[in-house]
């Protein structure tokens, strides 16, 4: 009886003591879980990289007053806020969700390098009306953290947190 790759160390030792299995088989069965663990770690790592990279889109900004909003009416939500376009509004399901937004580049030649190199976390408080010029419409304050407002519209990566 030969141990399979799924045989645990205890089973291997019992087999070894009763059947005198070659030591090479014990080494193989005890290192196989390590190989499997390394492969699993690599798969999880790649999945995490895709989560960190986010989804590509564009961002614009809007100016105060920020109330009333479609999600919270006249209740103030601060200035690190945004309006969701139809891309992820989902009938209001986006309300209250938080997104990390990072500028990735220019959409026009007016400001060729608008990005500050920073990211901002915003809370969805409103719906960007149809005809919205971006995937997400950031508050003026949030936009200024990640890009030069003179750009008006930028390329972004965003992900929910």
How confident is the model over 34-45, as pLDDT tens digits? 555 544 544 444
pLDDT at residue 5, as a whole number: 43
pLDDT at residue 134, as a whole number: 86
Q: Which two tokens stand for residue 81?
A: 């806020």
Do residues 116 and 39 lie in contact, with contact meaning Cβ atoms separated by under 8 Å? no
| 27/157 Cα distance (integer angstroms) | 46
Q: Which two tokens stand for residue 112?
A: 């060729």
Do residues 151 and 60 lie in contact, with contact meaning Cβ atoms separated by under 8 Å? no
Token pair 């945004």 in the structure block, residue: 82
Task: Report whether pLDDT(30) > 60.
Answer: no
| 127/93 Cα distance (integer angstroms) | 11
pTM of the complete model: 0.68
Over residues 93-118, mean pLDDT? 96
| 101/38 Cα distance (integer angstroms) | 32
Task: Report whether pLDDT(76) > 80.
Answer: yes
| DSSP collapsed to 3 states, the chain | CCCCCCCCHHHHHHHHHHHCCCHHHHHHHHHHHHHHHHHHHHHHHHHHHHHHHCEEEEEEEECCCCCCECCCECCCCCCCEEEECHHHHHHHCCCCCEEEEEEEEECCCCCCCCECCCEEEEEEEEECCCCCCCCEEEEHHHHHHHECHHHCCEEEEEEEC
**pLDDT-above-70 percentage for the chain:** 67
| 157/47 Cα distance (integer angstroms) | 16
| 89/142 Cα distance (integer angstroms) | 19
Residue 23's pLDDT band, with cuts at 50, 70 and 90, is low
């Amino acid at each position: 009886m030969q141990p399979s790759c799924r045989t645990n160390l205890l089973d291997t030792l019992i087999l070894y003591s009763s059947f005198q299995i070659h030591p090479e088989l014990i080494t193989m069965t005890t290192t196989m879980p390590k190989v499997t663990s390394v492969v699993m770690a690599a798969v999880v790592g790649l999945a995490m990289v895709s989560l960190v990279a986010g989804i590509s889109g564009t961002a614009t900004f809007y100016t105060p007053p920020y109330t009333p909003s479609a999600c919270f009416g006249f209740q103030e939500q601060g200035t690190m806020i945004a309006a969701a376009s139809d891309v992820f509004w989902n009938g209001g399901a986006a309300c209250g969700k938080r997104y990390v937004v990072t500028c990735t580049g220019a959409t026009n030649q007016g400001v060729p390098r608008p990005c500050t190199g920073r990211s901002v976390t915003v809370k969805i408080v409103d719906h960007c009306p149809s005809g919205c010029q971006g995937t997400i419409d950031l508050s003026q304050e949030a936009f200024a953290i990640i890009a030069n407002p003179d750009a008006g519209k930028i390329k972004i990566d965003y992900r929910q947190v």
